[in-house]
Structure 1
Amino acid sequence: MTGRDPLAPVTANVTGTRPVPDTRPGRLVLGITLFRPRPDQVERVRTLASAGFAAVIAFDNGGLPAGTADQLARAGVTLLSAGTNLGIAEALNRIAAAARAAGAGTLLLLDQDAEPPADLAAALLAARDRLREAGIPAAVVGPAPGPAQGHKAPAYPPRPGAPERDGLAPVQFLATSGSLIDLDAFARVGPFRGDFFIDGVELEWCFRAWSLGYGCYLARAVAIPHRVGGGTIRAFGITMPRQPLFRMGTYLRNAVYAWRLPHVPLRWKLAQAAYLPLQAGLYWADSGFRPAVLLRLLAAARDGALGRLGPPRGLPEVAPRDRTRALPRDLP
């Protein structure tokens, strides 16, 4: 690592690259996380840069070729990078910090796979405003999960004891991609857990928000497709994403660790205690009952119980920035 400020925009030696512009309080900034994006995903980001947001901030978690960085910079995207894979949680935190420093009041988060409907930002802002008018503090408002062929859509369990209002359903948690974050609430709730790295990040944060009096709400009137994993595993009435082993291990580790957190509801902990062994067993069966897979899953559960968090084993390597072509995408 050099002494360079990781929050400073990456200019990639492009003339005319714009830093995050000054924005008036309450303006909306778009934040996008990147990891080895395909050319079509890069083009989607470039299109979003012209959609009228106060600013578009992307965080490169590794694998973005220099030529692609140039293209994004010319399109007006402020590109942040630390030169290594910091994980989704830290990428989101740095985007939020940059947006907050620029004076933004709200932050719409997307990942590189997201295909948001044209009215997503307007619909979520309107939903946030309805909650404010009703005196309901909300940390995040997100769209309903839409179908994506070959992928399991996430399910957002309802928040017990919190009433639905005007098509806005209180839920235990929401996926970060597609969600509108209130940056004042974010400052009070605190950042996403960087040591969770990638899986369970939004779940822990939303439980923390609820514990501090800030709700998480699903706007039924707008939807966005979600793609998790490389297909699905189905057995015994259970459907779960098929993911690389390091992702499954990180999910299991973080879920076990969450049992230690006081702001995670007991009801959720008990449900997970029953559900996690089933998921691990199905994943192992899907691998062909390979002993090495079982040992990795058991080690992940042990690490969660012992609080051994941080970057997971088996993480794909970050490609050098001077590569001239887009690389295959390893993080589904």
Structure 2
Amino acid sequence: MNVDAVASRFRRIRYLPKDLNCASRTLKGAFAFDDGWGCSNCARPFRPLLPRIRMIGAIFTGIRSRHQNSGRRRSVKVDVASRMGILPTAFGRDGSAMTPQDVQMRGARACAAVVLYRPDPLLLVRQAEGLRGCPLFAFANGPVDVEAIEALAPTALRLLSSPKNVGLARGLNAVMEAAAHEGFTHVMLLDQDSEPPTGILETLTERSLALESQGEKIAVLAPRLVPPQDGFYKPLRYEWRGKPRADGLAAVDFAPTSGSVVSVGAYEAVGPFRDDFFIAGIDVEWGFRAWDRGWGSHIATDLAVPHRWGEAVSQDELGKAQILRHSPVRNYYYARNVIATARLRHVPLRWRAKSCAGLFAQIGLLALKGQPGSLRPVRTGLHDGFRGRLGPAPASLA
């Protein structure tokens, strides 16, 4: 299917946020007559042009979403100009636009969210099947193939995009703020290769609500992540904060991002994910920050979601260390962000010591078994971590 064909499937295009002034919304309002997200009065002159506009496939403009968070004003730019026509909207199962289908659970509104970066369309098909009919916020972190977008059609999709890779953390913040803007109370964050079982969103949200009703401050409730049946991936090892509870929940310092249901209230109280971490260790830092502010992270040990951690290897290499599996730039982020996290006051001393010891043990393995030149990105990461130089990796490593 070509770009024009995909663009023609958009029936109603909605823009974030509500606080755009009337002048800047005149053309945008032409796409939002019925839901108040645009200026319908100013848009009337543009109605005759709608059929042609919809066939263009991209609108070269940008919007800014402002969000009040912990006394600070933050802004997230969501670029909606893309050659593929990636725009905030909702798809129906037949490809036509639809009203968002809210998951109503005892006063809560739950949705899922994912950040896309060069995704595998086949894995997205599996993900969408588990989320069929559920609201899904997807952030295209750079160009994304049309096939990948079409794979998410079974969901009630809201699609945001950036013309370039702005990092996983910024993408997570974008979908969290967009979900909060629509009034959702809980967001299940997913990796693009995760395969959530049908009903996992509702189950986790209901449990989170039950805990909140008992007075617990739940930042994150997540399932256990287990390796998928296809391929050979390392299993995650969890370390509990104390003994697991009688209800099957176990407290953790942090929950891995994928599959975790994040309370929007906690997100607003704790603050956004660290944009400057870019990738690697984002969930670790946020989890410790949440605990420091009185919000806990828990694992529902009786629920499982398949998850591909790191890179797949052959069966003979199943015990291969992650630092030997990762790309050089990923090892840069790993080394840098371990050091950056260890320098933060809200991170416990025990974790600082353990994570740094683990890092240097991994570096030793890389020195012994890594490819020639594999230590250079790690050295750069250590240097930048101690200096506090965060953000995207240096161009020489990208």
Q: TM-score band, normalised by the shorter chain? A: 0.7 to 0.9
Q: TM-score, normalised by structure 1?
A: 0.83
- Provide the secondary structure at the position in 2 that maps to 1:213: coil
- Mapped partners of 1:61, 1:316: distance in 2: 19
Q: Would the aligned equivalents of 1:110 and 1:176 in 2 still touch at CA under 8 Å?
A: yes
Q: Would the aligned equivalents of 1:18 and 1:78 in 2 still touch at CA under 8 Å?
A: no
Highest Rg: 1 or 2?
A: 2
Task: Give the direction of change, closer, same or farther, for the CA distance of 1:283–1:182 in structure 2 (3 Å limit).
Answer: same
Paired residue for 1:40? 122
Paired residue for 1:330? none
Aligned residue type for 2:378: L
Task: Give the direction of change, closer, same or farther, for the CA distance of 1:231–1:238 in structure 2 (3 Å limit).
Answer: closer
Q: Would the aligned equivalents of 1:32 and 1:109 in 2 still touch at CA under 8 Å?
A: yes
- Mapped partners of 1:98, 1:218: distance in 2: 25
1:80 to 160, 165, 178: 160
Q: Would the aligned equivalents of 1:246 and 1:315 in 2 still touch at CA under 8 Å?
A: no
Confirm or deny that 1:276 pairs with 2:334. no
Paired residue for 1:143? 223
- Mapped partners of 1:23, 1:129: distance in 2: 14
Give the C-alpha shift of residue 172 in structure 1. 0.7
Paired residue for 1:206? 287
Confirm or deny that 1:251 pairs with 2:334. yes
Q: Would the aligned equivalents of 1:105 and 1:182 in 2 still touch at CA under 8 Å?
A: yes
Unmatched 5+ stretches in structure 1: 318-332
Q: Which moved more, 1:17-26 or 1:145-154?
A: 17-26
Unmatched 5+ stretches in structure 2: 1-59, 64-76, 90-94
Q: Would the aligned equivalents of 1:46 and 1:75 in 2 still touch at CA under 8 Å?
A: yes
Task: Give the direction of change, closer, same or farther, for the CA distance of 1:205–1:12 in structure 2 (3 Å limit).
Answer: closer
- Mapped partners of 1:36, 1:252: distance in 2: 23
- Mapped partners of 1:18, 1:166: distance in 2: 38
Aligned residue type for 1:151: Y
Aligned residue type for 1:263: H
Aligned residue type for 2:126: R
Q: Which has the higher contact order (CA 8 A, sep 6+)?
A: 1
- Provide the secondary structure at the position in 2 that maps to 1:251: helix
Paired residue for 1:264? 347
Confirm or deny that 1:177 pairs with 2:235. no
Q: Percent identity?
A: 34
- Mapped partners of 2:249, 2:288: distance in 1: 18
- Mapped partners of 2:223, 2:347: distance in 1: 23
Aligned residue type for 2:110: L
Within 5 A, what are the aligned runs for 1:115-126?
115-126=195-206
Q: TM-score, normalised by structure 2?
A: 0.70
Paired residue for 1:152? 234
Give the C-alpha shift of residue 238 in structure 1. 8.3
Task: Give the direction of change, closer, same or farther, for the CA distance of 1:84–1:190 in structure 2 (3 Å limit).
Answer: same
Q: Would the aligned equivalents of 1:256 and 1:304 in 2 still touch at CA under 8 Å?
A: yes
Task: Give the direction of change, closer, same or farther, for the CA distance of 1:70–1:132 in structure 2 (3 Å limit).
Answer: closer
Give the C-alpha shift of residue 316 in structure 1. 9.3
Confirm or deny that 1:312 pairs with 2:393. yes
Give the C-alpha shift of residue 81 in structure 1. 0.7
Q: Would the aligned equivalents of 1:61 and 1:82 in 2 still touch at CA under 8 Å?
A: yes
Q: Would the aligned equivalents of 2:101 and 2:133 in 1 still touch at CA under 8 Å?
A: no
Paired residue for 1:324? none
Paired residue for 1:216? 297
1:27 to 109, 114, 121: 109
Q: Would the aligned equivalents of 1:109 and 1:179 in 2 still touch at CA under 8 Å?
A: yes
Q: Would the aligned equivalents of 1:12 and 1:70 in 2 still touch at CA under 8 Å?
A: no
Task: Give the direction of change, closer, same or farther, for the CA distance of 1:245–1:314 in structure 2 (3 Å limit).
Answer: farther
Paired residue for 1:287? 370
Paired residue for 1:186? 267
Q: Which moved more, 1:307-316 or 1:13-22?
A: 13-22
Paired residue for 2:62? 4
- Provide the secondary structure at the position in 2 that maps to 1:297: helix
Q: Would the aligned equivalents of 2:338 and 2:356 in 1 still touch at CA under 8 Å?
A: no
Aligned residue type for 1:246: V
